[in-house]
Amino acid sequence: MNLEGKIINVLGDSITEGVGVSSVENAYQNVMGRLVGAAEVRNYGVSGTRFARQYGADNFPWPFTERFKTMADDADLVVVFGGTNDYGHGDAPFGAWGDTTPDTFVGACHYLFSELVKKYPATPIVVMTPLQTSYDQNPSPHTGKPLIDYVDIIIRVAGHYSIPVLDLYRTSGICPRIPAHLPLYMPDGLHPNDEGARKVGERLAAFLQAL
């Protein structure tokens, strides 16, 4: 995919917003944008947000399934990067394969990806799975599932809509459970620092250029 001079919309959470890096210019999507020669990378990242609607009142009420509607229509590429917060503190049920509403995680994936295809029928869409974290093998406090279960549903649902997926969980090269990786790439065990964001941005750029 040639992205020289193109416009890219990126829908995400705190990592996309720029938490963890010294400057938003060092966030992964801006690293990617420079590498592919994009004209503009639009940041639709909001900290703490999740794919699915939530059942309890909290400080993060604006899920991806609502926020995608605010994105500009003229993008040449749409990138979606989330799911970690659904696992970490989301209170929506995990759901089952037949769910298609935003009220479960599985349903939210179906709803979000299908609605993005409707909104951008001729525009490439790419989804990235959550990165590994220092605690991702622990069960979610609300569903009892580890992060990998969320990762695999993202991959399965995106495949259902023929949306390419970059599996960062398995291919980013960042494993914060390894003592040497934690300070180097992800000091808080969740958000990549400048070096971690560089690795993600380079990985995303290479993935996009190969499509």
Strand-pairing partners, residue 82, are none
Each residue of 64-112: pLDDT tens digit? Answer: 999 999 999 999 999 999 999 999 998 899 999 999 999 999 999 999 9
| Tokens matching residue 168 | 């960062």
Confidence grade of residue 62 (pLDDT, cut at 50, 70, 90)? confident
Calpha distance 186→195 (Å, rounded)? 8
What is the per-residue pLDDT for 53?
87
Q: With contact defined as beta carbons under 8 Å apart, do 115 and 89 qualify? A: no
Using the Cα atoms of residue 176, residue 157, residue 87 and residue 142 in order, give the sign of their dihedral.
Answer: negative
What is the per-residue pLDDT for 112?
98
Residue with tokens 């580890």: 146
Q: CATH number for the 7-210 domain, one of 3.40.50.620, 3.40.50.2000, 3.40.50.1110, 3.40.718.10?
A: 3.40.50.1110
Helices (H), the chain: 14-17, 28-36, 64-67, 84-88, 105-119, 147-160, 168-171, 181-185, 194-210
Q: Which of the pair, 53 or 160, is modelled with greater confidence?
A: 160
Q: With contact defined as beta carbons under 8 Å apart, do 194 and 184 qualify? A: no
Mean pLDDT, the chain, as a whole number? 96
Mean pLDDT of 167-196: 97
Calpha distance 10→67 (Å, rounded)? 11
Mean pLDDT of 17-29: 97
Each residue of 109-140: pLDDT tens digit? Answer: 999 999 999 999 999 999 999 999 999 999 99
Calpha distance 18→98 (Å, rounded)? 34
pLDDT for residue 60 is more than 70: no
What is the per-residue pLDDT for 82?
98
Lowest mean per-residue pLDDT among 7-11, 59-63, 135-139, 160-164: 59-63
pLDDT for residue 59 is more than 80: no
Confidence grade of residue 54 (pLDDT, cut at 50, 70, 90)? confident
Question: At 153, which amino acid appears?
Answer: I
Q: Is 96 helix (H, G, I), strand (E, B) or coil?
A: coil
